[in-house]
Every structure is written in structure tokens, then in C-alpha cells.
Structure 1
Amino acid sequence: MIAALTIVESCAAGLVVTTAIAFDPSASAVLLGLLLAVTGIAHTEIATGVERARRRVGEKSYTDLSTIWTFAAAVLLPPAVATAAVVVIYTHLWFRVWKPARFPLYRHVFTTSTVLLAVRAAHEIVLRAAAPGMSLAGLAGLAVLLLAAAAYATVNSALIAAAVAANDPQARPTDLFGHLDDIMVEVATLCLGAMLALTLTISWWFVLLAFPPILVLQRAVLVRELAAAASTDGKTGLLTAAAWNVRAGQELRRARRGSTPFALLVLDLDHFKNVNDTHGHLAGDRVLAAVAGAVRDEVRGNDLVGRFGGEEFVVLLPGLPGDHPVGGLRMVAERIRIRVEHLDVPIETPDGPLSIANLSISAGGAIVTPEASTTIEQVLSLADRALYAAKGAGRNAVRIAGHPVAGPRIDSPALEPERSAEDR
């Protein structure tokens, strides 16, 4: 990760130096660059409270709405002036938003570097694709703006994704590029930046028209990020119990409409109290996060994984493939059990680094045939009973209900016969 950050920041620093050496802009370009820098600062000042809140709640997924000003600068300004405008806007952002939110300086420097390189990429597209004297108001101008926006988004996203991948080789696509909502917000901001660039070619006063939509978008994004934070468990990054129940109910209704079965697993970390008693609660939190990551890595991207308080996790697997869903569910549960069994969680202690190993997890599962009389609570009850059967068998075991559940039969589950340790 250090190498990735160094390369990106070195390229950005080289870009700043080369553009500064070739600094010979026209007076109108300097004035327009100053206008965009001032309006970018004004935007931050007006929305400082919102931005600081977004910084606190959106640590892992933070869409920078200053793109509206930086993309307009990329389209309209020569490289030297556009670079200066970006540096001014992001220096102000550091002191007014990032620093008060206690974010490390290196992350802000890296973000600024990616924006500088994205701005230069977008400008090069405009320089090469637009004919001399061509107006941005026509169809050809729209094509140029779309190409420039694509270049901006590609460079910015690719550099951030590379740094995340360097830090976490097992990162998922959503960790690298954000969720669909994050991508759409970035697209909306680029569109606003393109429209701002177009209106500024008519009159600089039109810059005032950009403030209402960007401020409304900013508050809408904050509401979404607050909702996401409220539905996410702070220690594990999984869904909270309440959020999981809501999403699971939606999946159940979808399964009924499609007449497709789904599966549910309840998982419980064995002897977790011993971890807390021996190493402390901070170490216990590290173990919970590691187990949550193991569970998430062993299921599909559309499976719902939640934390049900304490050391208990729950997974809903809609549309489990295969002609033998019980066997498929058992396979998933066994993968999770083996993955947890091989976890080695590093922690810091007063005596130096230490690793927590020899963890185990018990799992209970159920296959559900969706019918009107079946509820998520009933399915959870059945899977929970299967979990207790796994714990009664000595823990570090998997037990699956022996038949698909249909409403009337849920109160009399037939658990699979217990297996010996050798069979497992």
C-alpha cells in the first residue's frame, strides 16, 4: 500500500511541478480558476457541518462532492490553473473537514493526488477530442463531456481501487469501487460538473445555479450514509439484527413470488467468553471482526450476513443452487467452520504481539420452502434449535434440519443424525 501511495503521490507532485514551470495562463483563465476555487471553498463552508458528519459516518465509502468544481476546472481551464484550483479547494477541505474529523493527513494527500491526476486526464480528453473553437453546447460537445467524465471517473476510481487492493488483496469489488449508490452519486456529481462547465461558457454568474442542487444532493447522501451506518454493526461491519430482519423479510417475500427455496444459517462462536476473560474485550472485538470477515468471505455477495448480538451470526442464502439444497447448505456451513478453525487473529498486548488461534464455531441451518404460513422468526427458531444440537454434539460442528421447512412442519423439525468427530 505504501508503494501504491508513493507512486500516485509522486506522479501528482511531478504534475504540479511541470504545470508550474509552464505556468503562462491568460487573465481570463486565472479569473475563472479563482472563481471555481472560491465557489468550491464557499460550498465547503456552507456545508461544513454536513461534510464533517459524512466524514465521521462514511469512513469506508465517502463520495467527494467537490468533483463538481474540479471537473468543471478540468474542462474549462488550462492544466496549470486547474491544478492550482484543485490544490486550493483540497487544502481548504483539509483544514475545515478532514482534520477536524481526525482523518490522517496521508489519506487526504492521496485523495488530492488522485483528483489532480483525474483532472489532468479529463483535460487531455477535452484537448484532443474537441475541435478548435468547438462549442460544448452541441451534440459533439456532449460527446466530449461524456468522454472527459469517463476519463475522470476511471482514473480516480482505478487509483483508489489499486490502493485498497494493495492494502487488502481479498477486497471485494464493493470495497474497491463502492456500492451502486456510491457510483451513481459520483455520476450525478460529474453530470453537475459538466452542466456547470457548459453554463459557465455562457455567463460566469450561472455558477450560483450550481449551489442548490449540490447542497440538496449532499444532504441526501448524508441521509443515506446515516441510514447505512445505523444498519451496520460497528464491530464487524455486518448488518445489525434489526436491519437483517428487514432485509430477510424482503427476501422471503421475493422467494414466495418466485416459488424458490432459501436457506438460513445461525452461527455461534464457541467459548467466546474465554477470549474476553483471557485477553480483554478489545481482543474479543478483533476476534469478532475476523470471524465476521471469514463468514462473509465464504458466502456469496447477495447472501445476507448479520450479527445477532454477542458472538452469534446469521446468514440468509436466497436461491441456494443445486438439486440437493441440504447438501449445499452443509457445504457452505462446513467451509465457514473450517475457515474459522484456521483463523489466526493478531492482537497487541502489554507484553508484545500475540495471536489468538484455536477458535471454533457451531452452526445450525434450515432449508425453507416459502409458504404463506412461514415467517423469518419461525425459520430462525428452527435453525437455532439445530445450532443447539451442534453445541450439544461437542461444538465445532454443523447440524442441518433434515427436511425442507414448510409452515405447518416447522414446529416439529427432524434434525440430521449426529456425526462423530471422525465423520466430520
Structure 2
Amino acid sequence: MLVVVDGALSPPDVTAARLWTVAGLSLAGILHTEAALSVERLRRRVDETPHLDLSSVWTFAAALLLPGCMATAVVLLVYSHLYLRAWRPSGFPPYRVVFSTATVVLAVHAAAAVARLAGDADLFRTPVGLAVVALAVVAYASVNLLLVVAAIRMTGPRTTWRRAVGHGDELQLELATLAMGAVLAAAVTVFGAEYALLALPPLVVLHRTVLVRQFEVAASTDAKTGLLNAVAWRLQAERALRAARHAEATVAVLLLDLDHFKLVNDRYGHLAGDEVLTDIGAVLRAEVRDEDVVGRYGGEEFVVLLASTEGEDLRTTAGAVADRIRRRIDEMRPEVSGPRGPVVLDDVSVSVGVATFPADGTDLDRLLEVADAALYAAKAAGRNLVRHGLHAFEGTGDDGVEPVDGAVSDGQPVRGS
């Protein structure tokens, strides 16, 4: 039998069995869209950013079962219907549809190329075939992910790589979807293309589960910064505090407030202020670890809960972390949109109040109260400072506070920083 040469199919490749496979996978993909139509439209309304549509089940199965050009036909049929029925009514721009479809086509060709490495080995009954399928999953996911992330970064330079890649659960969902595609391909190989329809019920249920997850994320995320909102931050902070109490560990709460932020809004407009808030959110995500809890507390206030690692005592290191964040923000030179064009701001700074568990309090409300008092003391002392809450109540300094490890005096780092 002849093979694909220069992207063209020789006549022996276009067999009735392959045409039936194209029809079966395309029909199943179209029925999947129809069954999940209301869900997909809701997802588009909730979040306009790129997200998984779960159609990889059909397109990846096509990559394993068909030559690249015939697999491309499945992609075009499924995504054309998806656009007409779900994306266009939601106002999805045509150019984004073309790009999304093109990335899937390239991912399908990459997976199909890897699948051909198996040669005469059975993809679904031999160890060699299983290894090739696993490599095809990696190839498909990598090509699709890299192209989408590159596009997000080019169209939104302010978007960090970490945010462009997305959450770990989204990557896990993509891999699970591709695994379902591999199982589907095996079923079609053994029983016939009509068995693709059996994948519809679990896939529709999974689609609805993804919608619930998307609503949860939207409800817990601050729209301007991408950080947790105040309610979601408190829930996660309470959980981290309970874990620290059980492990007899320490945690620290940092309360940050932008200095003279009202002047930014008054001079350049609220859109410029929103851009500054977005940049601050990116700095905070970059300066803390994944296990730390970061949120926007309201207005120009941000809050961070630092979780201690094994053997770490945050009572002595939290101030240093807070001062590192303060210095990083002080060095920022964000470019914002002003009434007369782009403007570079060189005077963005924050004041920070620090409270640690259990030294400053044993519950979250008390820690926030102490951190807020320390923040007020930092403002009163001249701003762009870090103050530890314990000293705000002791009144050991001229202004009611005293710098501790990692705190600052007159805007300059002192001991431990």
C-alpha cells in the first residue's frame, strides 16, 4: 500500500474503512457539540480566554487511526460545526477560530507522524505500540500548548508565562482527554467506527463538570489581577492556618497597600490604575511560592499568606520576604495608558504590614488586625516601608513601631535583608 507523500493521499489510502472512520469520528464530534451546546455557550460567556473544548477526543483518535490529511478532514468538520453552533453565536472572532483550528491541525499531524513510528506494530496490543501512543499524546499536547502559549504572549506581553500556560488541572484535563481519544481509537480499531458514539455520554458529563469548575474559578478570581478575591483568599488562608496549627508550624500574613494610588487614578484615569494593579498582581505571583496564598483584598490592598516549609520559622524570615516584595515593586516602571498616550510611572511603591502565627495571633482575624495596624504604622512612618505587627502594639519606636529582621528604615533595608 502506498503512503502519504508530500501531503497528498494516493488512491489506495482512501479506503472505505477509512472513509467510514472519518464519518464516524466527525459525526460523533458533531453530536458531542450538539449535546453540550448550552454548556459550551455558557463557558464562553463566563470566560473569553482560551480553554479546552474537549474535542481532542475525536481529533486525537483521528490522528492515531488515519493518515494526516484524512485526520485533518475530521478536524475541519468538527471545528467548523463547533464554530457555527457554539462560537459564532457567542461572538468568537473568526481569526481566533482559524488560529485554534490551525493549531489542532498541526498537533494532529505531529501525533500522526509519531504514530507512524510504530511501523507494522499494533498500536493497541503491543508494548511498542503503547509507547508510541504515549509519545503521540506528548507530541499532540506539546504542539498545541506551545502554539497557544506563544500566541497569548505575543498578543498580551503583560501576561506571564505561568499564567499563559494555565493551571495544572487544565493540563491534566487535556492529557485525560487525549487518553480518552487513545481508548476511543482502540475501540474503533477492534469493533468499528460506530463505537465512537459510546464515548458521547461520559464526555458530555465531563463537559458539564468542566463548566462547574470554570464557574468556581470565575467566582474566586479577581478580574483585574487574576489573583484570588477576598472571599476565596480567606477560605484558602483559613485552610492553611489550620494545617499550620495541626503541624505546630508558623505562617505569616502580609498586608500590602499601594502608596498614593489615588493620584494615579486622578492623573491618568482608572484604566491606568487597573494596569498598575495587574502589574502588582504579576509581581506578587512571581515573588512567592505556589503554596503561598495571594489575593487582592480590595481597592489597592493585597494580602499574602506565607506558608512555612519544614524547619522554617517565618517569625524571622517573613519581614525579609515582605521587604523583597517591597523593593521589587519600588523598582517597577510600569507603562500605562494616559490621556495623551503611554506614560511610564517611576514612583509606584507599597507599604507592608506583617503578622505571624502564633506570635501575633492564633486566628486569621487577629492576624489581619495586627497586620493592618502594622501597615498603618508603615504609612505613618513615611510609606514604602515594612513594619512587623507585634511592634506596632508594643510602641517601642518613636512612631510606635520598631524595624525587625527584613524591615526597613527610611526606605532602606536593614538587618536580615
Same fold flag (TM > 0.5): yes
* Separation in 1, partners of 2:91, 2:111: 31
* Aligned 1:174-253 pairs, distance under 5 A: 174-201=162-189, 202-253=191-242
Q: Which moved more, 1:211-220 or 1:94-103?
A: 94-103
Gaps of 5+ in 1: 1-15, 404-409
Give the TM-score, by structure 2 length.
0.86
* Separation in 2, partners of 1:128, 1:331: 54
> What is the CA deviation profile of residues 241-291 of structure 1, one whole-angstrom value per residue up to 9, with x for unaligned ones?
110000001101111222211111000112222222222222221221122
Q: CA deviation at 1:63?
A: 1.7
Q: CA deviation at 1:37?
A: 1.6
* Separation in 1, partners of 2:386, 2:96: 43
Q: Which moved more, 1:201-210 or 1:21-30?
A: 21-30
Q: CA deviation at 1:38?
A: 2.3
> Is 1:359 the equivalent of 2:344?
no
Give the TM-score, by structure 1 length.
0.84
Query: Which residue number corresponds to residue 417 of structure 1?
Result: 402
Q: Which moved more, 1:90-99 or 1:392-401?
A: 90-99
CA RMSD of aligned residues (A): 3.0
Q: Which moved more, 1:193-202 or 1:92-101?
A: 92-101
Q: Which amino acid aligns with 1:347?
A: V
Distance 1:402 1:381, change over 3 A: closer
Identity across aligned pairs (percent)?
A: 46
Q: CA deviation at 1:350?
A: 4.5
Q: CA deviation at 1:140?
A: 5.1
Q: Which moved more, 1:232-241 or 1:280-289?
A: 280-289
* Aligned 1:386-397 pairs, distance under 5 A: 386-397=374-385
Size of the alignment, in residue pairs?
401
The answer to whether the 8 A contact 2:46-2:218 is kept is: yes
Q: CA deviation at 1:126?
A: 2.1
Select which of 39, 43, 46 maps to 1:54: 43
Query: Which residue number corresponds to residue 363 of structure 2?
Result: 375
Distance 1:308 1:239, change over 3 A: same
> Is 1:286 the equivalent of 2:286?
no
* Separation in 1, partners of 2:306, 2:165: 24
The answer to whether the 8 A contact 1:263-1:320 is kept is: no
Q: Which moved more, 1:213-222 or 1:17-26?
A: 17-26
> Is 1:276 the equivalent of 2:265?
yes
Gaps of 5+ in 2: none
* Separation in 1, partners of 2:411, 2:336: 32
> What is the CA deviation profile of residues 209-260 of structure 1, one whole-angstrom value per residue up to 9, with x for unaligned ones?
1110100000101101110110000111110111000000110111122221
Select which of 292, 298, 313 maps to 1:303: 292
* Aligned 1:28-67 pairs, distance under 5 A: 28-60=17-49, 62-67=51-56
The answer to whether the 8 A contact 1:164-1:175 is kept is: no
Distance 1:171 1:191, change over 3 A: same
* Separation in 1, partners of 2:198, 2:395: 64
Select which of 307, 312, 317 maps to 2:306: 317
